[in-house]
Copies of this chain bind each other. A is one copy, B any other.
C-alpha cells in the first residue's frame, strides 16, 4: 500500500499545508503514517474529543498527542458535547458526532489557513455506507459514494475533503499497520451491535458473501463509485438553487429525476441533510396544481412550505 499513489493526489503537493483527521483509530493512524512517509510535511492533525466514552476519550487524546510529537507534526485537540448536541438537534449520536467533527474541521481550516483535510475513509466504509443507505431508503442520491476529492461548505468555510484510502480495503490497511508495527487505539463502540454499521460489517456482509458465494464488496464498491460520478454529473445539469426559494413553475418543467435531485440539492444547501425519499416526494407533490399539501415536516421542527408558487423553509 505504501507504493499506492492515487492519480488525484498529484493535485495536492506535499509542500502545502493540510489538515488531517486523527481519531487515533487504526485507519487514521495508518493515514498519518502514510502521509508522513509520502513526504507531506506541513500537516496539522485535528482530533475532536466527542466526550462519549469518558476516560477512554481522554486516553485517545493523550495517545494522539504522543503520536503527533513523535512525527513532529502539529496537533489541535478540540472538544464537543456530542450527547447534548444530539438531543438538542434531534439527531442520532453518530450524526451529531459527524456534524460536530466537520464544524471543528471548518473552524480549524479557517484559523490555520489550510482549506484541505485528509480523511481516512476506505473502501469498506464505502460499501457499509451504501448498504446503510440502501436499507434505510435514502433514494439513489444516498447510494452515491463518498468521493476521493469533494468540496463542502460548512459555516461559510469552503473545505476540500481528500480521501486517499477510498480505493483501499480494510485488510490492506491491516497489513500496512502490521508491517509498520503501528500502534492505535481500539474504539469499543466498533463492537456495539446496536449500531447498524457494526451489524453490517460484522454480520451482514460475511453472511452475504457466504450465501451469495462470492466477494460482493468489490461489486458494491463499484456501484457506489459509479453512482457518485453520475451524481456529480447530474448536479452540473441542475438549474441554480442558491436562492432561498424554489419556483414551483420552474421545478414543474423539469423531468421527475431532476426534480428530485434539485430538491435534494436545495435542501442540502439550506443545511437540511439526511432527508429520505419521503420528504423529497412530499415536496414534489406540492408541485401539482391541485395539490392540497402546503407543508412538509423536516427534522428539527423545520418545515418546507408552499405559498404563492414559491417553496421555502420555515423554522
Q: Report whether B211 and A233 are in contact in the complex, using a CB–CB cutoff of 8 Å.
A: no
Whether A8 sits at the interface, judged by CB under 8 Å, is no
Copies in the complex: 2
Contact of A135 among B199, B208, B236 (CB under 8 A): B208
Residues of the B chain whose Cβ atoms lie less than 8 Å from the Cβ of A236:
255
Main secondary structure of the interface of A (DSSP, over half): helix
Assembled-state Cα–Cα distance A242/B135 (Å): 38
Question: How many residues on A have C-beta within 8 angstroms of the other chain's C-beta atoms?
Answer: 39
Chain B: minimal CB distance from A79 (Å): 33
Quick check: B256 and A229 within 8 Å, CB to CB? yes
Q: Are A229 and B212 in contact (CB under 8 A)?
A: no
Across the interface, which residues of B come within 8 angstroms of A257, CB to CB? 226, 229-230, 232-234
Q: A230–B134 contact, CB under 8 A?
A: no
| Per-position binary interface string of chain A over residues 280-297, scored 1 when its CB falls under 8 Å from any chain B CB and 0 otherwise | 000000000000000000
Pick out which of these stretches binds chain B: A86-94, A98-106, A213-221.
A213-221
Q: Does A277 contact B (CB under 8 A)?
A: yes
Chain A residues 133 to 192 lying within 8 A of chain B, measured CB to CB, are 134-140, 143
Q: Tell whether, in the assembled complex, residue B134 and residue A226 are in contact, meaning their CB atoms are under 8 Å apart.
A: no
Chain B residues with CB under 8 Å of A218's CB are 137
Instruction: Please tell me if A83 contacts chain B, counting CB pairs below 8 Å.
Output: no
Within 8 A of B (CB), among A200-258: 203-204, 207-208, 211-214, 216, 218-220, 222-223, 226-227, 229-230, 232-234, 236-237, 255-258
State the CA gap A237–B140 with chains docked (Å): 19
Report whether A204 and B199 are in contact in the complex, using a CB–CB cutoff of 8 Å: no
Evaluate contact between A139 and B277: CB separation under 8 angstroms.
no
Is A306 interfacial (CB 8 A cutoff)? Answer: no
- Of B138, B219, B229, B234, which contacts A230 at CB under 8 A? B234
A123–chain B nearest beta-carbon distance, Å: 14
- Residue of B140, B199, B227 touching A212 (CB-CB under 8 A): B199
A255 to chain B, nearest CB (A): 5
Interface residues in chain A, defined as those with a beta carbon under 8 Å from any beta carbon in chain B = 134-140, 143, 196, 199, 203-204, 207-208, 211-214, 216, 218-220, 222-223, 226-227, 229-230, 232-234, 236-237, 255-258, 260, 277
